Amino acid sequence: MSPLDRIRSRLPRGARADAALASGVFVLVALGAEGQRLNRGGDSLPSLIASWLLITAVCGALLFRRRYPVAVGWFTVVATGGYHLLSSVDGPLVVVPIVALYAIAAQGRLRAALAMASVMVIGMSAGTLLGDSDVNGTAVFMLTGWLVAVVALGSVRHGRLAYAEEEARLRATEERLRIARELHDVIGHNISLINVQAGAALYRLRKDPAQAEEALGAIKASSRETLRELRATLGVLRQVDEEAPRAPAPGLARADELVASAERAGLPVRIERTGSERPLPAPVDLAAYRIVQESLTNAARHSGAGEVVVRVAYGDRELALAVEDDGRGPAAGAAGPGSGTGITGMTERARALGGELTAGRRPEGGFTVRARLPYGVQGEPTERSDR
């Protein structure tokens, strides 16, 4: 924490800040009024009592400036005008309506602030025209400049706060979407495979108990993997000081695990790699893994495919992915990007990296998902391991 942040953290807030402001302004006004009274002579006793009551009331109104900003502002303007009419001492009480004016402008109530500022300028101008020796054209001009500056500063403050709040809302929305997308990808893949395997186990239970037992074993393995990934994801979301997960982070290096999981569900998968394999930036590697994972999930659930081919092409500036199956594809209306949360999530991942993703039926039959993921940061080529 910087020294400025430490100072800010020690400053009073809320009601305590309002009490400190009211007390400080009261001391300032009282010292200014008494100093002028000693130099110019005192008022009559009734005028003196009324002046001090107005000073106390005007300064005390600042205690309620957060709850009733406009009402407090108008009260300070009217009461300050009454003070100058009753007292022969031109004390610095005008500071209070200026403070209230800034608070109103900082809350975005620009019309009320402009109306208050106009009344103050008109009131002082009227005093000049009536021959008040303490008010002249220069004083009116200076007050007008102060009021314009205060309203402008308050408006700038309001704009900055509104921008910060909007930015925080956008960040929160993006984070919620990211978490939802991550949980969908982590859980949806394995749960979908478990559903397929459970259906196969029920079908084979009486006809072929051995194959049913194999399907149940696949369900057990998939559920264990789901729990492991779910714990890892929730651990990241909690951001607690727990032991880091020992399993490697999701990436194309773990593509064989996706293939094995799909094959346990009865979906043959083949991976074809071209180009010089290279270490990918972490966001690109994760997005590629999730796109392949979701594409295999959709193929297992909807396509009835006999085979799926995953093509990974390492280019000089981007990674190209294609997941093709020879099945019947999703039901009508679910073949386009954005028609389901899975395809929408894949599309968002690709666009977040400056790439693109398309999904649809193939002319020769089946379904295909194609993605282009720019590296952003160039990786160094490494020897490709053929599988």
Report, as an integer, the average pLDDT of 295-322. Answer: 85
At 334, is the pLDDT very low, low, confident or very high (cuts 50, 70, 90)? Answer: very low
Positive or negative: CA dihedral 120, 121, 126, 131 = positive
Percent of the chain with pLDDT over 70: 73
Look at 20-34, 211-225, 309-323, 339-353 and tell me which has the smallest mean pLDDT: 211-225
The sheet carrying 308-314 orders its strands as 269-275, 308-314, 318-325, 367-374, 356-361
Q: What pLDDT is attached to residue 310?
A: 92
Cβ-contact 380, 278 below 8 angstroms:
yes
CA distance 36 to 90: 7
Q: Is the pLDDT of residue 346 over 70?
A: yes
Label residue 358 by pLDDT band (50, 70, 90): very high
Query: Is residue 360's pLDDT more than 60?
Result: yes
Q: Decide: residue 111, CB within 10 A, 0-12 exposed, 13-18 middle, 19+ buried.
A: exposed
| Boundaries of every domain in the chain | 3-135, 268-387
List Cα–Cα distances, 120 to 64, 140, 155, 182, in angstroms.
21, 9, 19, 58
pLDDT, position 248: 55
Averaged over 215-226, what is the pLDDT?
73
Q: Determine the pLDDT at residue 335.
A: 39
Q: What does pTM read for this prediction?
A: 0.47
367 in Cβ contact with 361 (< 8 Å):
yes
Q: Is the pLDDT of residue 357 over 90?
A: yes
List pLDDT tens digits, range 64-80.
888 888 898 899 888 88
Separation of alpha carbons 59 and 24, rounded Å: 9
CB 190 within 8 A of CB 226: yes
Q: Is the pLDDT of residue 186 over 90?
A: no
Q: Tell me if the domain spanning 268-387 has CATH number 3.30.565.10.
A: yes
Reported as a single tens digit per residue, the pLDDT across 244-269 is 445 556 788 888 888 887 887 778 88
Pick the more confident residue, 230 or 377.
230
DSSP state of 252: G
Instruction: Quote the pLDDT of residue 81.
Output: 82
Contact between residue 312 and residue 273 where contact means Cβ atoms under 8 Å apart: yes
> What is the percentage of the chain residues whose pLDDT exceeds 90?
8
Secondary structure E strands in the chain: 269-275, 308-314, 318-325, 356-361, 367-374
DSSP string, 51-78: HHHHHHHHHHGGGGTTTSHHHHHHHHHH
Greater confidence (164 vs 217) lies with 164
Q: What is the largest CA-CA distance in the chain?
A: 113
For the beta carbon of residue 79, count every other beta carbon within 10 angstroms: 19
pLDDT at 322 over 90: yes
- Distance from CA of residue 214 to its chain's centroid? 46
